Amino acid sequence: MKNKLLILSIFGLILAGVSAFIYPAIKAQISQTETKHDDEASLIVNSQPVSNTFYEGLKENQLFKSSGLKLTKASFIEQNQGENMGRIGPFEKWYVMDFQNDNFKIKILIEDYKSQELASEVLNKFWYSQGYIESTKEFGDEGIKVFYAKGGKLDGIRFRKDRFNIYISCKSEELLKVFAENALKAIEGK
């Protein structure tokens, strides 16, 4: 019994020693991956006029600066033209950006459609199964605010301006307004 206990103790000490040497190396690799990921997100955002205008305007906003939010992820899709080309949705262009701080995440999706009618049709097909929606014209031509069923807390907003649909997942009314106003400015130039 004493031998087994001695072997377990030695094994535990070896494992603790190895962990002490390996942990800093693993942590360094993780932070490098995050930095690389942030750089890739910035490159994607900066490569497109709409997302670049949106992000540059956002970075100038005092509330955004003080929020500690960082761009963590970004995507851009431009659908191929033509009858025989596969499509993943009715949009022509699709911009997605994720922002995060220590307390929460904000996601913004900007979809560019062929026409105002198609954008409106897609907007009005939106449904929310775990809460309720409210019509709003606070931003753009038409829109809906989405609320959680429990407590009626804000989940986000989806609105249309011309041929663009914008969805912002944000629980802060103040930051939601900043994101919505910057999205409207970004699509004005299109």
Task: Report the CATH architecture of 47-80+89-188.
Answer: 3-Layer(aba) Sandwich (3.40)
Residue 85 has what pLDDT? Answer: 63
Walk along the chain (190 residues) and give the pLDDT tens digit of each residue: 556 555 655 644 454 444 444 444 433 333 333 334 568 899 999 999 999 999 999 999 999 999 999 999 999 998 876 666 666 788 899 999 999 999 989 999 999 999 999 999 998 886 656 677 888 899 999 998 888 766 778 889 999 999 999 999 998 899 999 999 999 999 987 6
pTM above 0.85, yes or no: no
Residue 39 has what pLDDT? Answer: 81
DSSP string, the chain: -HHHHHHHHHHHHHHHHHHHHHHHHHHHHHHHHHHHHHHHHHHHHHTSHHHHHHHHHHHH-HHHHHHT-EEEEEEEEEPPPSTTS--SSS-SEEEEEEEE-SS-EEEEEEEE-S-HHHHHHHHHT---TTEEEEEE-SSSSEEEEEEETTTT-EEEEEEEETTEEEEEE-S-HHHHHHHHHHHHHHHHT-
